[in-house]
A and B are shown apart, each in its own frame.
Chain A
Amino acid sequence: SAVISQKPSRDICQRGTSLTIQCQVDSQVTMMFWYRQQPGQSLTLIATANQGSEATYESGFVIDKFPISRPNLTFSTLTVSNMSPEDSSIYLCSAIQGEQYFGPGTRLTVT
């Protein structure tokens, strides 16, 4: 199984600022993903983080708002840019190693 860690675990940010979330997997994985879980709602896929190329974004999510990096097979970052209160969510990193595993999430509050 893959063990996934995320930093920070939570943050409170002011509107208009940006936050970068880091995701580290304890082994090399081909596919990494970023999900958003808004309060009281289900998980929504933001994008697939591709190693060595641009991320693949789902409908409704754009690179300017959620830039993603994937410099190697164990690490990825998600930046939430120009934040507004509507961005307040839990952001989860995920990776596939046999099964699909999830990190503990980053709880973001935008004031």
Chain B
Amino acid sequence: AQSVAQPEDQVNVAEGNPLTVKCTYSVSGNPYLFWYVQYPNRGLQFLLKYITGDNLVKGSYGFEAEFNKSQTSFHLKKPSALVSDSALYFCAVRDRNTGFQKLVFGTGTRLLVSP
């Protein structure tokens, strides 16, 4: 069965500093990997995905994520954090070999960017 781990409940970073939100995954086959962001009282918004190809994936709002097969990780990064980046971030995985569109989510990491 596929699973996702987000080891940090919360990440604190000062505005202008780089940020990293960690994610590791487990699937039986090859993964599709995703990051979503949830702002208060709003639904999940798609940030970026890894399907195949370049291990560094660029997404919305200046975010990027690096796929590392050997470490089974897909950490979310941004070179310079903004206060408006403060939100709840979810990593998700889909096993491409199952032929089913089920997304499995991690428990989420709250990002707090201080001015």
Which residues of B are in contact with A by a Cβ distance under 8 Å? 34, 36, 41-46, 49, 90, 101-108
Note all chain B residues with C-beta closer than 8 A to A48: 101-102
Check B43 against A4 for contact (C-beta < 8 Å). yes
Chain B CB within 8 A of A41 CB: yes
Note all chain B residues with C-beta closer than 8 A to A101: 46
How close is B65's CB to chain A, nearest CB, in angstroms? 15
23 contacts between A and B (CB under 8 A): A4-B43, A33-B101, A42-B105, A42-B106, A42-B107, A44-B105, A45-B103, A45-B104, A48-B101, A48-B102, A92-B44, A96-B101, A99-B46, A99-B49, A100-B34, A100-B101, A101-B46, A102-B36, A102-B43, A102-B44, A104-B41, A104-B42, A105-B42
Which residues of A are in contact with B by a Cβ distance under 8 Å? 4, 31, 33, 41-45, 48, 92, 96, 99-105
CA–CA, A99 to B48, complex, Å? 10
Check B46 against A100 for contact (C-beta < 8 Å). yes
Check A105 against B43 for contact (C-beta < 8 Å). yes
CA–CA, A45 to B105, complex, Å? 9
Check B43 against A92 for contact (C-beta < 8 Å). yes
Identify the closest chain A residue to B91 (Cβ).
Answer: A42
Q: Given A92-B43, A105-B43, do A100 and B106 touch, yes or no (CB 8 Å)?
A: no
**Interface residue from A31, A44, A104 paired with B43 (Cβ < 8 Å):** A104
Note all chain A residues with C-beta closer than 8 A to B105: 42-44
Note all chain A residues with C-beta closer than 8 A to B34: 100
Note all chain B residues with C-beta closer than 8 A to A33: 101
Note all chain A residues with C-beta closer than 8 A to B90: 42-43
